[in-house]
Structure 1
């Protein structure tokens, strides 16, 4: 029998290398990964199979401050109705509410109990994760991170997670709790999303927020190393960018951490490989559209794809070698993604944020949501083996009931000889990997 949490009736970033010509306005919202090209669009209208017509903002997380800095887009629902609202209306018999254009007084997206139920985590989330630390790596400072996290957790009845009780800690990329980077409202919303999703899936976990001083790969990578140095065994990264010949050196400098589950957003531009999702040392996380269903699971998922340029990332790396546990034959190098979770803004998640915007509840989407969700699942599953690369774990459970196989939808066009890299099918495919969690068994060695 399904239970409910307050305000959540149970209805069951990316970084990018760009030149100075790409000038963007300050962000209204940040959730997923995007491109500077998309920054020119004020809104995007989509009609996913799982929801009614929905419009959301697509604005960059920050104006690049230096050449080579990274611009980020995001997806915040600003009109229409989300899957959460439609299901709530069916449950109560009332007309579905329209998502406000500004902050709402109550959530209009999925909450912790929804995500836990959808991914078979209800029992694990209640009892596992104590003593584990999930690190969230982002750029710039969110001055309200602790207060917003407390608001989210209090609303949903999750255990308190504060600096005072030792559950939450925020540091800069050098590990200092006092020497923090400059604040940025766009990245602050990304941080709220990441912190809330880690909380939703692993309420008993400690959370470490590591803020890089800028959105360059060097600084974000330094923040990843600092997170591991400070003891985190689970590190979530909700950013990405174009591949380059430098990626293999970044692999060894920033992401080669045996014994640590490093999750990375697969991207939000549809078909096409991105880095660091392409690193052979990380778990690349794709995105789905998630809605309630009358099936035995109570939920259904398909590939998140809003348009040819907006949807979950996937693809075949041009530079990174194929890890030994990948056996697909249509991609000679690293294939993306490994697993997936909800990312469609139309079936988005509830987030509380107050810095630089009207304080209140927002609904977000993007693979910036799915990466911390999967980091939380790894944490529920327990500490990885000291010499393991946890990206391999889901492959050991491939094709079993430990994963929900996503078999419908595509995120673009790709070679007919390797159509699985952009089109869902039974078994492994690029957009959703081996599928979404059904409990924690696929995320432990």
Structure 2
């Protein structure tokens, strides 16, 4: 359920429910990307998916994750041996892998040489007891450098920084954690990864985890969760997200047109979602449109009711903070491969949602290099708009001001200024 200014809950009931949590969605899929060593098939396929458990908050006052997991159907690509894997067959990856994402976003050379010494923090709620092992499986399969606790690349802590006193384990948020860790790895294989687990999905605990990530030295912090806006958001801004010199990315939401928080914070990079497909007819080799599955499912966007407009935003119809800034793949029908083993059959799954796009963009910031110490990196894409792939087709709903929900040339709400074409738009 997406709330509006006339039916917004109080701050104590700030949460949203994905419209497809109870029922899977079926869509005709064409052109899904390949894992390493695979080639596209020419035939389309029907794929089904549903919201992950953390997309429905456990209790009043908690925020929701922004992930969707494919549950069935046959993917639209084949392995070299001619076998077409089923999305529900957890033995075989069936979504975009690191080489696909790096190629689609012009990051191949940067991913090979950049990121060493940089730390991407992933902020999520509850504990994933299998996080390190699942991350190792993903990285090993795709030939990425090992990132373990033993070699100092991976570290998992609670919101207080403890490595031993961790939150209660949770199967739904573990899926989210696997998605986030794998996307950060896919885009920036040489980066260190810090997983900060909040003890619950309240804004206070997740915000405390953001502060802890920055305290521990992360210059890139990914957040794949959100909830309805409230009058408390400006207080949350100053308490949790005002960190100059740190690139903080936040998912724009999965409920279609409508603003949510913390994507509306003026201090963060709000990340929208696209459908990403191979396109041999383009020089780039890929094409993107706004991700929209239905009137209640697709990337979020909109004009904030509470947060002030940052100085670098210049669209005139929205006098407050406009969502989003940039975007990346989020449509589960053109989803990404993830390995997860806690609470579900251990194996490979295909995920979508703006939970995928936020850590992808955090990884791009990390490839681009350390932000200026007094900078708000959310401003960087606005200064380098020509270094982005402009997404000009699609919408995520109905709105009275067209660009709030409809793609166009230049800036628009659902995709911001566009998707990465290299790292040029993410450096000061």
TM-score in same-fold range (> 0.5): yes
| Alpha-carbon contact 2:20-2:297 (below 8 Å) kept | no
Which residue does 1:4 correspond to in 2?
none
**SS in structure 2 at match of 1:224:** helix
Give the whole-Å Cα distance in 2 for the aligned partners of 1:219 and 1:333: 26
| Alignment-derived partner of residue 420 in structure 1 | 403
Change (3 A) 1:52 1:303: farther
Determine which of 45, 48, 54 is the counterpart of 1:55: 48
Change (3 A) 1:59 1:49: same
Within-5 A mapping of 1:18-97: 35-36=16-17, 38=19, 41-47=22-28, 52-61=45-54, 64-72=57-65, 74-82=67-75, 85-86=76-77, 88=78, 94=82, 96-97=84-85
Alignment of 1:44-443 (within 5 A): 44-47=25-28, 52-61=45-54, 64-72=57-65, 74-82=67-75, 85-86=76-77, 88=78, 94=82, 96-100=84-88, 103-294=89-280, 295-398=282-385, 400=386, 402-415=387-400, 418-443=401-426
Q: Larger % of strand: which? A: 2
- Structure 2 gap segments, 5+ residues each: 3-7, 32-43
Aligned to 1:11: none
Superposition deviation, residue 47 in structure 1: 3.5
Q: How many residues align?
A: 406
* In 2: Cα distance, 1:347 partner to 1:353 partner: 19
* Counterpart in the other structure of 1:25: none
Counterpart contact for 2:64–2:227, Cα < 8 Å? no
1:31 corresponds in structure 2 to none
* Kept after mapping to 2: 8 A contact 1:354/1:360: yes
Q: Give the structure-2-normalised TM-score.
A: 0.91
CA distance in 1, matches of 2:363, 2:67: 22
1: CA distance between counterparts of 2:411 and 2:55? 35
> Structure 1 length as normaliser, TM-score?
0.87
RMSD across aligned positions (CA): 2.0
In structure 2, C-alpha distance between the alignment counterparts of 1:166 and 1:68, rounded to whole Å: 35
Equivalents in 1 of 2:395, 2:327: separation in Å?
Answer: 14
408 and 52 in structure 1: CA distance in 2 versus 1, 3 angstrom threshold = farther
Q: Take 2:222 and 2:208, find their aligned partners in 1: how far apart are those partners?
A: 14
